[in-house]
Amino acid sequence: MNINEIIEGINTIDDESQLHVLFDVIKDRRKNLQQLEARKAVASIKAGDIVELHGLSPKYLNGAICTVRRVEGTKFHVNVIEDRTFDPRAASRLAHATVPASCVTKLEA
């Protein structure tokens, strides 16, 4: 089933209770994917690695390039690399930040 077929199926739903069930299924799936991403990140990222942030709020933090200072459970303590981050607000906000592992992607050196 492709995304267009899924969207077409959703558009045929005329019972609001079914939409609530669909919403709950999507929420659960997103949570499971985030947990999987977090486990992968924790397993592969260590202090000193360079990472890119995503899935954060406020949105201007997304895309920031950081150095991992410390790994603590499923959280990463990061410092922004100012000359590789284009939004100055992110640079000031991420001077010393802690972010969830699900919001970090390791960049190759």
Give the tens place of pLDDT for each residue, 18-74: 999 999 999 999 889 888 877 877 788 999 999 999 998 888 888 888 999 999 988
Could you give the CA distance from residue 92 to residue 98 in angstroms, rounded to a whole number? Answer: 14
> Over 90: is that where the pLDDT of 12 sits?
yes
Q: In terms of pTM, does the model score above 0.85?
A: no
Q: Based on the number of CB atoms within 10 Å of its own CB, is 22 exposed (0-12), middle (13-18) or buried (19 or more)?
A: middle
Cis amide linkage into residue 58, ω under 30° from 0 = yes
Domains with residue ranges and CATH for the chain: 41-106 (2.30.30)
- Secondary structure (3-state) at 68: strand
Two tokens, residue 55: 């899935």
